[in-house]
């Protein structure tokens, strides 16, 4: 039998408000063993009944935020019927504001989050960056807006994630001297390829810190200056072979490098 406390979060939108409230409250009860179950976009009375029935099988509290009256009424009646503790987070505030403004709330769920085309494109771009990070799946290169190439610690992943938040689909591929350049890279249009590089000293510094954070010895070849120079030389030859532009990220912030990439690829015009 599950003896943990169960916190059910129910919302007709994303449920972020109730989630933050629950976390803030639970931070005051650190010694309690609990599980959080979150249900968002609940706008059906049958779904409410199923959730409350599930809650009734455990030591539960149902926290909910809804601007839909029918959902609020159903949640309250179901919780009371099944003897489940509940708390309506939003209604007291809405009622007070309605009195304060002498007006009624619009009653539309999700008004904090505009789920428009731009939002969904951004989510798709972020998922794309995660899926095609670090050369995980080269089949995605043909669908990318930008393909970043570079040896280790040339900011490939941070740049991919930053650009994805601007709705740009980015894939990145590491370059390693011992591994031949994949044929898929040669099939990517040159106007989508960007070669990243860094100064030897900066790479040495970054890699030493990386090894330190992993608890590894600084004697590892990864941070050896001769190895770094070898990798840089290899990457330069690959870039020359591909005919792609090169950006040195040594003294540039992620935002600055991203801006250069958008300008080189012409994506800056599309984003305006």
Tens digit of pLDDT for each residue in 24-42? Answer: 999 899 889 999 999 988 8
Contact 148, 173 (CB under 8 A): yes
Residues 212 and 149 in one domain: yes
154 among the known binding-site residues?
A: yes
152 among the known binding-site residues?
A: yes
Position 106 in a domain: no
Is the pLDDT at 124 greater than 80? The verdict is yes
Q: Which domain holds residue 169?
A: 117-271
Q: What are phi and psi of 86, to 5 degrees?
A: -140, 160
156 among the known binding-site residues?
A: yes
Closest CA to 48 of 68, 32, 29: 68
pLDDT digits (tens, 9 = 90+) for 131-168: 999 999 999 999 999 999 999 999 999 999 999 999 99
In percent, how much of the chain has pLDDT > 90? Answer: 72
Residues 24 and 80 in one domain: yes
Residues 155 and 256 in one domain: yes
pLDDT digits (tens, 9 = 90+) for 221-232: 999 999 999 999
Q: What is the mean pLDDT of residues 171-196?
A: 96
- Report how many domains make up the chain: 2
> pLDDT band at residue 120, thresholds of 50, 70 and 90?
confident
185 among the known binding-site residues?
A: no
Which has more pLDDT, 240 or 104?
Answer: 240
CATH code of the domain covering residue 36 = 3.40.50.2300
Give the DSSP H/E element, type plus range, for residue 161.
helix 156-164
Is the pLDDT at 252 greater than 70? The verdict is yes
């Amino acid at each position: 039998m599950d003896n943990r406390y169960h916190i059910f979060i129910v919302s007709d939108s994303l449920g972020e408000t109730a989630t933050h409230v629950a976390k803030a409250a639970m931070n005051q009860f650190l010694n309690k063993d609990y599980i959080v179950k979150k249900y968002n976009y609940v706008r059906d009375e049958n779904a409410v009944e199923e959730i409350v029935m599930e809650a009734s099988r455990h030591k539960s509290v149902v926290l909910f935020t809804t601007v839909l009256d029918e959902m609020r009424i159903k949640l309250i009646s179901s919780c009371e019927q099944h003897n489940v503790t509940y708390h309506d987070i939003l209604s007291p505030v809405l009622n007070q504001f309605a009195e304060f403004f002498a007006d009624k709330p619009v009653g539309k769920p999700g008004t904090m989050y505009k789920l428009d085309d731009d939002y969904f494109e951004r989510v798709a771009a972020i998922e794309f960056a995660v899926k095609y990070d670090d050369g995980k799946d080269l089949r995605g290169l043909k669908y990318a807006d930008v393909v970043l190439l570079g040896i280790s610690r040339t900011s490939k992943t941070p740049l991919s994630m930053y650009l994805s938040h601007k709705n740009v689909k980015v894939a990145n591929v590491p370059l390693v001297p011992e591994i031949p350049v994949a044929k898929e890279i040669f099939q990517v249009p040159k106007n989508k390829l960007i070669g990243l590089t860094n100064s030897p000293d900066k790479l040495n510094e970054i890699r030493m810190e990386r090894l330190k954070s992993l608890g590894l010895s600084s004697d590892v070849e990864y941070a050896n200056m001769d190895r770094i120079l070898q990798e840089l030389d290899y990457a330069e030859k690959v870039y020359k072979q591909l005919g792609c532009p090169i950006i040195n990220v040594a003294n540039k912030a992620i935002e600055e490098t991203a801006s250069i990439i958008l300008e080189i690829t012409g994506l800056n015009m599309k984003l305006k």
